[in-house]
Amino acid sequence: MGAVEIQAAASPAKPAAAARTQPTYISWLAICFMTVAAVASLRAAPTMATYGLTSIFLYVLPAIVFLIPTALVAAELASGWEGGIYNWARQGISAPMGFLGVWTQFAMTIFYYPTLLAYVATTFAFAIDPKLADSGLYTAAVIIIVY
């Protein structure tokens, strides 16, 4: 063996530099649309119509006070740490709190979507046939098929 081969065999191989991926960011427009979609659902539209232009204030105030800060915190956590709700709460507080965070998110989702779909089904039924809106079978079928 030559001197070069002995030196190469004696020194440990340096690990290759880890490939860095470019972070992806949520655009301001995407955050805006997600916030509006969370606040401005169709459920409150008939009630809000009685307020007229004053209802704009009732949409903007919660967005400024609650939804925009919440969206910014979630964007910061999502861009800085791997995982989701469980991992963020587990690293920040504890594993049981991570489980509680995921459980409350699941419980909120499992009860929210069927009620929202029931509202959409009955509202859509009024456009087709108002008698259909009173049918529990129709509403259940829409919830099961869409969900």
Question: Using 50, 70 and 90 to split pLDDT, how confident is the model at 35?
Answer: low
pLDDT digits (tens, 9 = 90+) for 49-98: 777 788 788 778 888 888 888 888 888 888 887 878 888 888 889 999 99
Average pLDDT over residues 122-147: 86
The pLDDT of residue 6: 47
DSSP labels, 75-116: HHHHHHSSS-HHHHHHHHT-HHHHHHHHHHHHHHHHHHHHHH
Average pLDDT over residues 14-33: 70
Question: Using 50, 70 and 90 to split pLDDT, how confident is the model at 1?
Answer: very low
